[in-house]
Amino acid sequence: AQPNGICISEDVRNQIRNKDDIRTYSCGKKELKGVSGPVEIFEVHLEGITEKEKITPSNIIKELWNRHVVQILIGYFISSWIIKLAVGAMVSKYLLSPHLTNLTWVVLLSLLPSIFLLAWFHGKSSSSKWHKFELIGMPLNAVLTIAIVIFMFHGKDLGAATTDVIIENEDGVKIERTVLKSEFRKKIALYNFENLSNDSTLDWLQYTFPTMVQYDLSQDIFIEPLSSVSFFDKIREAGFEDGIGLPIALMKKFTNYYHLNHFVDGDFTFVDGEYTFNTRLYESKYGKLISENTFKGRDVFELTDEITIKIKEDVGIPKSHIDNSNDLPVAGIFTNSIKSLEYFSAGHRELLFHNWEKGLEYFEKAVKEDPGFSVGYLTLANYYFNSNQPEKATAAIQSAMDNIYMVPERTQFQIKFFKYILEQKPEKAMAVIKMWVDLFPHDIQAHSTLAQRYQISNNIAGAISEFKVILNLDPEQYDYLIAIGDLYEGLGKPDSALIYYSMYAKQFPKDYKSYSNIGEHYLKIAEFDMAREYFDKAILLEPSIIPLSIKIAKIESRTGNFNLAEKQLFELLRICKTKSDSADTYEAISKYFRLKGKVSASLNYFDKYINLLQEFQPPLRVSVQRAFTIGAYIEAGQEKRAFEILKNIEAEFEPPLDKIAAFGYLFAYIELDDPDNAEKQIPEAEQLAKGFGEETLLANVYYAWGRIYKMRGEYEKALENHLIFHELQPTLFSMNIYLCECYRELGDNENAEKYILEALKYYPFGPRINYEAALIYLNLGEKDKALEHLKLANEIWIDADPGFEPAEKARQKLEEIKGV
C-alpha cells in the first residue's frame, strides 16, 4: 500500500462493498503471519482524497488482470470465434441462411458488456452476491442486443437458403423440386476479355469467353450471370465500339444499372501454345477489387472450368455446395470444338453489328463443325426465324431438343418455349414459362418472360402483376417501374402510370428517362405545356438523344405550329449520327407530311425509313413493318407498288409466317374500299395471331370488321366492332372518328359528339378529326361550329397533294355550306 494507506482482507471488503465513497483495489494474495495460506489483500481509497492517485492506466490493467477480466475476455473471444466457425460450417453443409453466421457473431459481440461485468465482479471472487451494476447493466445489455439484432436483421430470411416447390410441366405432370431463395444468389456481370497477345487471330476469344463462363456458371442455382453481350448496344453508345477495354468506373456503372452484385473482367495472352488468363472480380457497390487470379493452360475449355470454380469461391459460394453440386465441364454443355467455338463467336460479332446474313453463315458453320452444339442450334433457330426462314428454324430447334440434356436448365426452358412457339402451340409455350417460374420462383428473367407473354396475349393485368412480383423480389429493378407505368398508360389509367414514373424519377433525378417518361405521360393526356417542359428537362440532361427532340416537334405539330415542327424535324435530320436516329427522324417526317395531306412526300420519307431499317433490323421485323403500313402506298395512289410489295413478302415468307401478308392485304383492300376482298384475308390474319399466341393483333381484326361493315352500310355491326377495338386500345383517340361515323350514320349525334370531343382534346389540329366534327355539328344544326372545324381542316390541308380525297371532300363541303 501507499504510505499511510489502509489494507483490508476480502471478508472486510465484502462488508463495505456497497459504500459508494470507498474504493478498493486488489494488491494480490499475500502471506500473513498466523494465517495458513495466502490471503488476498485490498487497498482502501476514499473518493476525492486518494482516488485520483490510484486511477492510472497501469493500475487499471493490473486490476483487470487480478480480477481475471482479461483472461475471461480472451477466453470468450476465442470461444465466440469457434462458435462462429461452427455455425458457418453448419450453414455451408446444410445450406442454411448465410445470415445466421453474421447473426451469431453480432449476438456474441453485443454481449461483451455483460461478460465484462461478470468477470469484474465474479472472475476472482467466489461470491455469488449480485452487484447493482450487474442488476442494471446486464438486462440493459440484453435489451440493446435484441435492438441491434432487430435493426440489422429485420426482413432477412434466417431459415434455410432453399425452399421446396411443386411445379407442373407442360404435359401437366407435377414435380417437386428444391430451389434456392433469391436473396442468397450471386448476380455477376461478365465483361469481354482483352486480347494482349498481339495475335489478332485470337480476337474472337474476347467475346466468346464471357459467354462460355456465363453458360458454365448458369448450371449453379447460386449464380445469375449476365454477359456484356446482352447490353452491347449500351457499351457502344458509351464510345467503346468493340466493347473492349472498358474502364472500371464504366463497368461498375453498367453492373449497377442492371442491379448485379459483382462484375468480372480480364485479359489473356498466348505464348508457345499456352494461354494465360488474368481475371479480376469486383463488388459493384463501391467497385472494390475482391480477387485477382491467373490461370494458365493449353485448353480453353478446361481454363473456363477453372475460372468459373474460382469465381464461385471468391463470391462466397459454400465449398460444400461447390463440391457436391452438378457442375458439368463447359465442353459438355456448350461445344467441345475450338473451331466451332470460333465460328460461333464470329457469328455473334457479325450480329452485334447487324450483319444478319454473314452472322447466319458463321452459325451454320459452327453447328456443322459440332452437330451436338445445342446452344448453337438455339441461336441459329432464333436468327433463322427473324430472317423469314421458319422451316429452317424448326429444324434447328429440333436439333437443339435432341441435345437438350447438354445445356443448363434455364436454357432448356428457352429451347422448349421456342419449340412450341414455332409449332404454334402457345398454350404449351405458356405452360413451359409457368413451369420455369414455379421452378425458379425468384428468377427475374422467368417472371419478365411470363409478363411479356401475358402482354402480347392481351392479359395486361397479368403482365402488371408479374412486373410487381419482380419488384417485390428485388426492389432495385427500377426499369420495371417504367414498364408498369407504360402498361397502366396503355390501359387508360394515367394517374396510376404517373405514380410509377414518379417513383423512378425519385430514385434517379439525374436520369433523362425520369423526365422523358413523365413528358410522354403528359403528351398522352394532352397536357402539351407540361409535356414540353419535361421533354426540355430531359434534353438538358441528354441533348444528343434525337427521339427527345422528335417529341418536341410532335408537340408543335399537335398544337398547330406546323412550320416550326417541320423546321425542327429537318434540323434534326442534319445532326443525326446513327442509323437508328435517322430512321426515327425519317418516320416522323413521313407522318408529318401525311397529316398535311402531302402523301407523295410522306411516302418518299417512308421509303427512306424502311430502307434504313433494313440496314440494322432483322428482315422479319422490316417485313412486318411494311405489311402493317401498306396503306401509305394506297393513299399515295401507288396501288400497283403496294401489291408488288405484298407479293414479295408472300414469296419471302415461309408458312406460317407467310400469313403476315394477310394483314397487309387486309389493310390494302380496306383503303381501296373493297370489303369483300378484305373479308377474305381475315381468317388467315386471325390464324396467325392465335397460332403464335399474339392476341394483341386481334385488335386489328376488330378494326377491320368495323371498316368492312361500314362500307356495307351495316352500321350497327360496324359500331359493335369499333367499340371492341376501343376497349382493347383505349388510348388510340385518333381512331375515335370511326366510332363517330357509325354513331352519326345511326342518328346518334350525341354519342358522336362525345367521342369527337374526346378526339379533339388529344388532336385539336387533326384535319380528319376536324372534318368529322364538322359533319356531326351539321347534323346537330350547329352551323357555326361546323364552319369553324371545316375551315381549320381546309387550312391544314391547304397544300395537300392534288387528288388527295379527304382534302377534296373538305373543300367541297366548305363550299357547299357557304353556298347555302
pLDDT digits over 396-430, tens only? 999 999 999 888 788 899 999 999 999 999 999 99
Q: Give whole-number Cα distances, 504 to 86, 104, 210, in Å.
A: 43, 37, 31
Least confident stretch, 15-19, 435-439, 768-772 = 15-19
Percent helix / strand / coil, the chain, rounded to 5:
65, 10, 25
> pLDDT value at position 61?
76
> Which cell goes with 216?
458454365
Q: Which pLDDT does position 131 carry in this prediction?
A: 73
Contact criterion met (CB below 8 Å) for 572 and 550: yes
pLDDT band per the 50, 70, 90 thresholds, residue 773:
very high
Q: Are residues 299 and 342 in the same domain?
A: no
Number of domains observed in the structure of the chain: 7
* Of the residues 407, 436, 455, the one at which a domain ends: 407
pLDDT for position 331: 92
pLDDT digit string, tens, across residues 87-100: 877 776 666 777 78
Each residue's pLDDT tens digit, 251-276: 998 998 777 889 999 999 999 999 99
Does 49 score more than 50 pLDDT? no
In this model, does residue 169 exceed pLDDT 60? no
195 in the same domain as 279:
yes
Instruction: Tell me the residue ranges of DSSP E strands in 197-255.
Output: 223-227
Whether 745 and 792 map to the same domain: the answer is yes
Residue 770 falls inside a structural domain: yes
Rounded to the nearest 5°, which phi and psi values hold at 5?
A: -80, 170
Average pLDDT, the chain: 88
Q: Mean of the pLDDT values across residues 715-732?
A: 95
In a domain, 110, yes or no: yes
Domain end position, chosen among 19, 49, 66: 66
Specify if 664 maps to a domain: no
Sign of CA dihedral 715, 719, 722, 724: negative
On whether both 262 and 351 belong to a single domain, the answer is: no
Are 11 and 147 part of one and the same domain?
A: no
Residue 170's pLDDT is 44
Residues 185 and 322 in one domain: yes
Q: Which phi and psi (to 5°) does residue 461 adopt?
A: -60, -40
pLDDT value at residue 42? 75
pLDDT at 52: 47
725 and 706 Cβ atoms separated by less than 8 Å = yes
Q: How does DSSP assign 179-193, residue by residue?
A: EE-GGG-EEEEEEEE
Q: What is the CATH number of the domain that holds 237?
A: 3.40.50.10070
| pTM of the complete model | 0.76
> Which residues constitute the domain of residue 127?
69-153
Q: Give the CATH number for residue 502.
A: 1.25.40.10
- Per DSSP, the residues of 358-404 read HHHHHHHHHHHH-TT-HHHHHHHHHHHHTTT-HHHHHHHHHHHHHTG
Residue 629 has pLDDT above 90, yes or no: yes
Last residue of a domain, one of 308, 331, 354: 331
Using an 8 Å Cβ cutoff, are 39 and 32 in contact?
yes
Instruction: Note whether 57 and 132 are same-domain residues.
Output: no
Q: In which band, very low, low, confident or very high, does the pLDDT at 182 lie, cut at 50, 70 and 90? A: low
pLDDT band at residue 638 using 50, 70 and 90 as cut-offs: very high
